[in-house]
Each structure stands twice: as C-alpha cells, then as structure tokens.
Structure 1
Amino acid sequence: MPMFKKSMLVLLAVVALAAGGAFYAGIHGQEEAVTLDAGAAPVQEAQAKEIVVYVAGAVNRPGVVQLAEGARAKDAVDACGGFLPTADTNGVNLAQKLKDGMQVTVPEKMTAAAQGVTGGAQAGATKPLPEGMVNINTADEKELDKLPGIGPAMAKRIVEYRTENGAFQSPEEIKRVKGIGDAKYEKMKDKIAL
C-alpha cells in the first residue's frame, strides 16, 4: 500500500503543478494581449499609403505631387493648382485611378486658327492627318485596328496602355505596349502620328 500512496501523491503533485501553470499563463497572457491591443491600434490607423505622380502640361504648377493611394487624375490636377485657361480638359481622363510613378499630361486646347475655323478661311490652319495616318493618342480601337500588324486584341491593349499611362509622348513609345516590338513598329511607324 505504501507504493500506492506514493504514486497518488506524485500524481496529485503533477496535477496541481499543471493547474497552477495553466492559471499563471492565463493571467499573464491576458495582460499582454490587452497591452498590445491598446498600443498598436492607433499606430496602424495613422499610417496611410501615398503615391507620387508627375503632372505636366496645361496646369498652374506642373511638377511632382504626393497623393493618397487610390487618388484620381483630377486629384493630381487639383494638387497642381488646377487647369490653365488653355487646357483641353477633355484631353485627360480625370476619373483615371493613379498608380505610383505615373505621369498625368494635360494637353492644351487647339486655337480656332489651328483648327481651321477662322470664318471659313484656312490661313494658319494646321494640316489634318493625311489619309491612312492614325493619331495613336486619340484613335479608338477600330481606328487602331487598321494599322499594319495590329488586330482587335492589340488595339485594345494600346487603348488600355494609353488609359493607364496617359498620352504617348512620342510615336516610339508605342513599343512599350506588350506585344509591340521593333518589327511591328517598323511596319506601322509611317502610319502613326501624335
């Protein structure tokens, strides 16, 4: 019987130790959780992500601006003091969602003389694009599809690229569109303009 009593005492001691350890861990674990929650919440809410965008063209103060993530092109224009009176406000998609590192270019309006609307006179008017030429900054998918080597899918990619990145600054920039390399560009370079 003495062996049975020793076993019972050892078992009782182990159970008591386990219960005490669990109780101790429960009390101290709870305190740490309360401390972490109280200190961490305000820090996370205070940090907002920002993007940096370059705004060029017909705005009051062109340059680099910092905006909140999710900002639109209109926010970038507003951060630069708004449009100049000569700005072509239809030449930029103000609803376009911006990404870090993007450029927003606001074009200038064409004057009446440049458009050839001077009371019927054509003096000083810029020449319209020759037959078969396509303006890659204003053409829709249907017009782009007429270019050599460009099908409906590629035309759609060109429009998407232009929407996401703004107007092309040079004809060669079209090579940045996925699927347009040097060979495809060579086929179309004499048919495209800005």
Structure 2
Amino acid sequence: MPMFKKSLLILLVLALAVLGGTMYGYYREQQTIALDPAVIEQAEAKRTVTVYVCGEVKKPGLVTLTEGQRVADAVNAVGGVIETADIDHINMAALLEDGMQVRVPLRIGGAEERSKSAGTGKNAEGQINLNTATEKELQELPGIGPAMSARIIEYREEHGDFQNIEDVKQVRGIGNAKFEKLKDKVTI
C-alpha cells in the first residue's frame, strides 16, 4: 500500500501542475486580449490628414490635422477667411480626407445682388445660371437628368461657384459631347 500512496501522490502533484499551468496560460491570454484594443485605439487616434487650403483665406497652405476633423477646422488652422470669402458656397461641415484641396471661393457681387440672383437660375435670355440654378432648373438642360443635376449642385457646393462655363466639364459624367449640347443654354 505505501507504493500505491506514493504513486497517487505523484499523480496528484502532476495533475495540480498541469491544472496550474493551464490556469496561468489562460490568465496570460486574457491579459493580452485586454491590451490589444487599447493599442489599436492609440494607433487610430494618431492618424493624420494633410490638406491644402487656398482661396479667400488669411494664410493659404498645407495643414496637417487629425483624422475626423472638418473643413472648418482646416480653414481656422490657416487663420480663417478674409472679408471677400463666400462662406455660403463651401461646406464647412464636410469631413477632411487626406490629400484633398479646400478652396474658399470669392464672393461675387454684394449681398443684394446675390439675393436677387438666388431667386432664379435663369437670366433674361433664358440661359440657366450654373451657379444659382436649382436641381429642377438644371434638369431643363439637354442631357441633364435628376442624377446629373444633383452632381452639378454637389460639385458646386464642394468646389464653389463655377468660374466659367467650361468648368462644368469637371463634373463626373459631363464630357465634351454633352457640353457642346448645353454650352449655349448656360451662363455663370
């Protein structure tokens, strides 16, 4: 019987060692898993975006900001806008993306002139103003449907007013052929 007790004791010690090792390994694994999300959050928090801010701002240039900031933050980082800026035609709430250009447009005409032209997108000759026309008015143009008129307005909001009628070709979906059909029917 003493031999049986020794064997049982050795078996019990081995079982406790295996159980202890298993528990220790599980504990270490849980600690590692708990630390991983914190490391990932720190890495994400340090991401930056670099944008170029130009137009009617005090100090145009490159600005590096943290990811998730808005156009207004980039404009403020270069000293803000100057008195000739047209802040009604730039989306200050848009999220910044790395490598983008933020152009603050020049205000054309006084407030009275803008309010008169904002009422209609057509001039006396019946031409449609690309800078003031509504989606419905833009759809009167040949080859411009609801999707294309929405793209024109989206482009106008992101980049400011069109400086000449050829700028409308920068809108995705408007090429030379479509431009030729509508160039005599539009103005800025």
- Cα distance in 2, alignment partners of residues 72 and 185 from structure 1: 33
Counterpart Cα distance in 1 of 2:75 and 2:94: 12
Q: Give the number of aligned pairs.
A: 170
In the TM superposition, what whole-angstrom CA distance separates every residue of 1:47-98 from its partner, at most 9, and x where no partner exists? 3322222211110001221222222221121011011122223232222333
Change (3 A) 1:79 1:161: same
The sequence identity of aligned pairs, in percent, is 46
**Contact in 2 for aligned 1:103/1:166 (Cα 8 Å):** no
- After TM superposition, the structure 1 stretch with the greater mean CA deviation from structure 2, 57-66 or 167-176, is 167-176
Map of 1:126-145 to 2, 5 A cutoff? 131-145=125-139
Does the C-alpha gap of structure 1 residues 192 and 105 become closer, same or farther in structure 2, counting only changes over 3 Å? farther
**Cα 1:64–1:138 shift into 2, 3 Å:** farther
User: What residue number does 1:56 align with?
Assistant: 54
Residue 160, structure 1, aligned to residue 154, structure 2: yes
2:171 to 168, 177, 184: 177
Contact 1:102 1:165 in 2 (8 A): no
Q: Deviations over 1:22-65 (max 9, x none)?
A: 53133134235425645872673363322222211110001221
TM-score by length of 2: 0.68
**CA contact 1:96–1:163 (8 Å) conserved in 2:** no
Q: Residue type of the partner of 2:54?
A: A
Matching residue of 2:107: 109
Contact kept in structure 2, 1:145 and 1:155, CA below 8 Å: yes
String of CA shifts for 1:122-162, please: whole Å, max 9, x gaps: xxxxxx96623333333321221122110122211222233
